[in-house]
A = this chain, B = another copy of it.
Amino acid sequence: MHQEDKKRTKGGSWLTRGLGAMLLMMGPALALAQEAAEAAPVPNKGDTAWMMVCTLLVIMMAVPGLALFYGGMVRAKNMLSISMQVFVTFSLLTVLWVVYGYSLAFNGTGQWIGDFSRFLLSGITADSNAATFSEGVVIPEYVFVAFQATFAAITTALAVGGFAERTKFSAVLVFAVIWFTFSYLPIARMVWFTEGFLFKAGALDYAGGTVVHINAGIAGLVGALMVGKRTGYGTVAMPPHNVPYVMIGAALLWVGWFGFNVGSGLEANNGAGLVFLNTFVCTAAAVSAWTFGEWIFRGKPTMLGAASGAVAGLVAITPSCGVLSPGGAIILGLVVGLICLWAVAGLKKSLGYDDSLDVFGVHAVGGIVGALSCAILGHPSLGGVGAFESIGPQLVIQAEGVLITIVWSAVVTAIAFLLIKVTIGLRPSEEAEREGLDTNEHGERAYES
């Protein structure tokens, strides 16, 4: 597999990179210390600098970005609750990633999961390097470990938006650990590791449309269903308590997402430029689409809508940022802006679930649109730079990846919540929920005057 990849990228034309990136995504895992020692490639400092920047951008996406994006949307009495869920989940999983996550996801030979041979990163030193998608180009392995840690940690933090405002902090943390271990790690391996089922099938997912967004979106939805609706949902108004926070959060997500998407290429090269521009312009188009869509269909364009549009665009371009042309990215942005608007308005209403922060409507739906768009807008006949032959078969492969992720994530989430329900319990008392999780779960209030 690795061989074939090398051949491909050697072909030289950047056009092949779209697919190459996908297929090679697990390359780093093969860059064992010995191997590095043989060929002894030295990391380019521009790549190293860029990958460190990308890593801290993804950290900024989570804290404070996601905490604010989510926090602004809940009621004031739950502001600290959701912030804590994001902040502590992110921190805890970063530790677990270093302890066993990296080893299970990117080491060993299993096709579903790795082994514990790099427990606590044993065997890795500052001299270790990880391969990139270009032959002979490496980056420090510690940087790769840190970069991947942020993906694992933010994905799980995303999911908690589905059952926000009504779940016990302890339940959220237990869910996070279980889901990270049994859903994130295997799916990351399936999609990004050479022996993974989806990897072998040729599914395209540049920066995590399936692994991150569909995965988290489904967990959010299933969690929302299992935890049940917020008390008063449907009868009591639950407006966002601080829309400026939502705006700040969305903006920081936008800025940070360049680390997420461009960093997934592992190099600061010409291909990075395309990914960068696509991430920029697809988001801008989705903001515009949601804004005008709301204006036309609901009467007024809202800030909450524009912010949601930004996230929808970012989600959709995540899997496809390496295979679309900037023109294709604009089209994708316009389309996904409208589809996600429909998902959180029409679809959600008709199905009646209480996905508090629309993790499903934005991340799962946007992720599906993005994953499928790879096969369509990514095709050279539509201006794309994808290296697959024809649209139809690739669309089937993409759909397969989407479906497997949906099922896997749903099952793991359901089991996790069942276990929590029968052990420590999922929800605080109704009184505590109505009074607010901030005071009841955390003994704090967000604002004092």
Given A120-B327, A306-B84, A45:B140 Cβ within 8 A: no
A113 CB within 8 Å of chain B: no
Query: Which residue in chain B gives the minimum CB-CB distance to A58?
Result: B255
A265 to chain B, nearest CB (A): 11
Query: Which residue in chain B gives the minimum CB-CB distance to A241?
Result: B448
Option from B143, B307, B442 in Cβ contact (under 8 Å) with A301: B442
Query: Which residue in chain B gives the minimum CB-CB distance to A130?
Result: B273
Q: Check A80 against B268 for contact (C-beta < 8 Å).
A: no
Q: Check A64 against B251 for contact (C-beta < 8 Å).
A: yes
A90 to chain B, nearest CB (A): 8
Q: Check B88 against A306 for contact (C-beta < 8 Å).
A: yes
A95 CB within 8 Å of chain B: yes
A142 CB within 8 Å of chain B: yes
In the complex, chain A residues 262-291 whose Cβ is within 8 Å of any chain B Cβ: 262, 267-274, 276-277, 280-281, 283-285, 287-288, 291
Instruction: Pick the most buried of A64, A92, A98, A269: most chain B CB atoms within 10 A of its CB.
Output: A64
Which residues does A use to contact B, with CB under 8 Å?
14, 17, 43-50, 52-53, 55-57, 59-60, 63-64, 67-68, 71, 75-76, 79-80, 83-84, 87-88, 90-92, 94-95, 98-99, 120-121, 125-127, 129, 140-143, 145-146, 149, 169, 239-245, 247-248, 250-252, 254-255, 258, 262, 267-274, 276-277, 280-281, 283-285, 287-288, 291, 299-304, 306-307, 310, 325-327, 330, 333, 385, 441-449
Q: Check A300 against B120 for contact (C-beta < 8 Å).
A: no
Query: Which residue in chain B gives the minimum CB-CB distance to A441?
Result: B300
Instruction: Pick the most buried of A84, A125, A141, A255: most chain B CB atoms within 10 A of its CB.
Output: A255
Q: Check A284 against B95 for contact (C-beta < 8 Å).
A: yes
Q: Check B142 against A284 for contact (C-beta < 8 Å).
A: no
Q: Check A121 against B244 for contact (C-beta < 8 Å).
A: no
Give CA–CA (A306, B92) in the complex, Å. 11
Instruction: Pick the most buried of A283, A300, A302, A326: most chain B CB atoms within 10 A of its CB.
Output: A326
Q: Check A142 against B277 for contact (C-beta < 8 Å).
A: yes
Option from B53, B125, B270 in Cβ contact (under 8 Å) with A126: B270
Q: Which 3 A-B pairs have the closest CB atoms?
A: A45-B46, A140-B273, A142-B273
Give CA–CA (A270, B126) in the complex, Å. 6
Q: Check A255 against B56 for contact (C-beta < 8 Å).
A: yes
A338 to chain B, nearest CB (A): 15
11 sample A-B contacts, Cβ–Cβ < 8 Å, listed by A number: A17-B126, A46-B46, A52-B262, A64-B248, A91-B288, A142-B273, A142-B277, A169-B301, A240-B448, A241-B448, A304-B444
Q: Check B60 against A277 for contact (C-beta < 8 Å).
A: no
Q: Check A276 against B142 for contact (C-beta < 8 Å).
A: yes
Q: Check B288 against A443 for contact (C-beta < 8 Å).
A: no
A41 to chain B, nearest CB (A): 12
Query: Which residue in chain B gives the minimum CB-CB distance to A268?
Result: B49
Q: Check B276 against A143 for contact (C-beta < 8 Å).
A: yes
Query: Which residue in chain B gives the minimum CB-CB distance to A77?
Result: B449
Given A56-B258, A252-B64, A269-B45, A146:B300 Cβ within 8 A: no
Given A75-B448, A87-B287, A63:B127 Cβ within 8 A: no
B residues less than 8 Å from A88 (CB atoms): 287-288, 291, 301, 306
A75 to chain B, nearest CB (A): 7
A206 to chain B, nearest CB (A): 13
A263 to chain B, nearest CB (A): 10
B residues less than 8 Å from A91 (CB atoms): 283-285, 287-288, 291, 306, 310
Q: Check B239 against A48 for contact (C-beta < 8 Å).
A: no
